Amino acid sequence: MKATLRIQRGAFGETPRQETFDVDFEHGQSVLDGLRAIRRGTDPSLVFRFACINANACKECMMQIDGKIDYACTVRLKEGETVLAPLPKKALIRDLVTEIAPPDERL
């Protein structure tokens, strides 16, 4: 089976663009699994944050998934299209990565 991920791409100061990727999947896989498959097999330049396989405790893979803010490690990949975008109201770094640390905690 196939899932399609439509991902907002670009870096700070660039005009955002949408790129679409088809990935193989089995029921039960997460959106994060799909993103990792894209980076591993199709486009190693895709940027997203995660520090998983830590009992879903890292909370770094937060992004907009179909217009809702959620964790890519907990949302299930589905047949059909899923739209991914960086967090709104956060400074964009690149692709799905935004500045998440409060200003007084940044190095």
pLDDT at residue 53, as a whole number: 63
Ordered by start, the domain boundaries in the chain are 2-99
36: region left, alpha or beta (phi > 0 left; psi from -120 to 50 alpha): alpha
Is the domain spanning 2-99 CATH 3.10.20.30? The answer is yes
Runs of H (alpha helix) within the chain: 31-41
pLDDT at residue 1, as a whole number: 86
- Digits of tens for pLDDT over the chain (107 positions)? 899 999 999 999 999 999 999 999 889 999 999 999 999 999 999 999 988 665 556 778 999 999 999 999 999 999 999 999 999 999 999 999 999 766 555 45
d(CA 46, CA 95): 7
The contacts of residue 91 (CB under 8 Å, 6+ apart) are: 12, 98, 99
The contacts of residue 95 (CB under 8 Å, 6+ apart) are: 7, 8, 9, 10, 11, 46, 47, 48, 86
pLDDT at residue 101, as a whole number: 67
pLDDT at residue 14, as a whole number: 92
